[in-house]
Chain A
Amino acid sequence: MRICVLIKQLPDTGSALKIRADELWVDEDNLVFSANESDSYALEEALLMKEAQGGEVVVVSLGPERVGQVLKDALAKGADRAIHLHDPAWEVLDSLGLARIMAAVLKEEQCDLIFTGLQSDDTGDGQLGPMLAELLDMPHVTLVVETELSDGRIKVKQELEGGWFQYVTAQLPVLLTIQSGINKPRYASLRGIMAMKHKEIKAVGAGDLDLPADQWVAGRTLQRLYVPEKTKETVFLEGSPQEVGAALVDHLVNTAKVF
Chain B
Amino acid sequence: MGKIIVLGQMEGSQVSRISLEALSGARQLAAATGHTVLAALFGPGDPPEQLAGADIAEIIRLPNAELADYSPDHYVAAAEALIAAEQPELLVTGHSYQIRDWLPRLAARLGRPLISDCIGVRDAGAGRWVRPVFQGKISADVQTSPGLVLVSFQSGTYRADELGSGSPTVRTVPVDLSAVESRLQREEKFQEAKGAVDLSRAERIVAVGRGIGEEENLQLAHDLAKALGAEVGSSRPVVDYGWLDHDRQVGSSGQTVSPKLYLALGISGAIQHQVGMKNAGCIVAINKDANAPIFEIADYGIVGDLFDYVPALIKALHAR
| A residues in contact (CB < 8 Å) with B | 11, 13-14, 16-17, 19, 26, 94-96, 99, 121-135, 138-143, 159-171, 179-181, 218-232, 234-237, 240-242, 244-246, 248-249, 251-253, 256-259
Told that A161-B253, A166-B190 touch, could you supply 8 new A-B pairs with CB distance under 8 A? Answer: A130-B101, A141-B101, A170-B184, A237-B300, A237-B301, A246-B319, A252-B282, A256-B260
Q: What does the 1/0 interface line of B222-244 toward A look like (CB < 8 Å)? A: 00000001000000110111000
* B residues in contact with A221, CB < 8 Å: 142-143
Asked whether B112 is an interface residue with its Cβ less than 8 Å from the other chain, the reply is yes
Take A13-B210, A139-B183 as given contacts and tell me if A126 and B111 are in contact as well, using a CB distance cutoff of 8 Å.
Answer: no
B296–A19 contact, CB under 8 A?
A: no
How many Å lie between the Cα of A102 and that of B261 in the bound state? 46
Main secondary structure of the interface of B (DSSP, over half): mixed
Partner of A131, one of B104, B131, B132, B260: B104
* A residues in contact with B319, CB < 8 Å: 246
How many Å lie between the Cα of A257 and that of B260 in the bound state? 8
B128–A223 contact, CB under 8 A?
A: yes
Take A245-B316, A252-B261 as given contacts and tell me if A164 and B191 are in contact as well, using a CB distance cutoff of 8 Å.
Answer: yes
Asked whether B153 is an interface residue with its Cβ less than 8 Å from the other chain, the reply is no
B134–A236 contact, CB under 8 A?
A: no
A164–B312 contact, CB under 8 A?
A: no
A26–B188 contact, CB under 8 A?
A: no
Take A180-B236, A253-B320 as given contacts and tell me if A130 and B140 are in contact as well, using a CB distance cutoff of 8 Å.
Answer: no
Interface-facing stretch out of B44-52, B114-122, B164-172? B114-122
* A residues in contact with B255, CB < 8 Å: 162-163
* A residues in contact with B63, CB < 8 Å: none
Asked whether B25 is an interface residue with its Cβ less than 8 Å from the other chain, the reply is no
Of the four ranges (under 10, 10 to 19, 20 to 34, 35 or more), the interface on chain B belongs to: 35 or more
* B residues in contact with A139, CB < 8 Å: 72-73, 183-184
How many Å lie between the Cα of A218 and that of B132 in the bound state? 19
* B residues in contact with A95, CB < 8 Å: 104, 107, 114
B299–A165 contact, CB under 8 A?
A: no
Take A224-B140, A241-B312 as given contacts and tell me if A160 and B210 are in contact as well, using a CB distance cutoff of 8 Å.
Answer: no
Asked whether B297 is an interface residue with its Cβ less than 8 Å from the other chain, the reply is yes
* A residues in contact with B76, CB < 8 Å: 134
A131–B105 contact, CB under 8 A?
A: yes
- The smallest beta-carbon distance between A192 and chain B, in angstroms, is 23
Partner of A159, one of B253, B282, B296: B253
B72–A234 contact, CB under 8 A?
A: no
Partner of A163, one of B73, B246, B293, B299: B246
Take A129-B104, A237-B300, A244-B302 as given contacts and tell me if A140 and B143 are in contact as well, using a CB distance cutoff of 8 Å.
Answer: no
Take A166-B189, A232-B296 as given contacts and tell me if A244 and B309 are in contact as well, using a CB distance cutoff of 8 Å.
Answer: yes
How many Å lie between the Cα of A220 and that of B111 in the bound state? 12
- Name A165's closest neighbour in chain B (CB-CB): B190
B101–A142 contact, CB under 8 A?
A: yes
B291–A140 contact, CB under 8 A?
A: no
B104–A127 contact, CB under 8 A?
A: yes
List the 10 closest A-B pairs by CB distance, nearest first: A181-B240, A241-B312, A245-B316, A245-B312, A139-B183, A219-B113, A258-B261, A127-B104, A131-B108, A220-B113
How many Å lie between the Cα of A171 and that of B140 in the bound state? 39
A244–B291 contact, CB under 8 A?
A: no
Partner of A121, one of B104, B134, B192, B246: B134
Asked whether B187 is an interface residue with its Cβ less than 8 Å from the other chain, the reply is yes
* B residues in contact with A19, CB < 8 Å: 138
Give 15 A-B contacts (CB < 8 Å), ordered by A residue. A14-B289, A17-B138, A96-B111, A122-B133, A124-B134, A126-B116, A160-B97, A161-B96, A220-B114, A223-B140, A228-B296, A237-B300, A242-B316, A245-B317, A259-B229
- The smallest beta-carbon distance between A228 and chain B, in angstroms, is 4
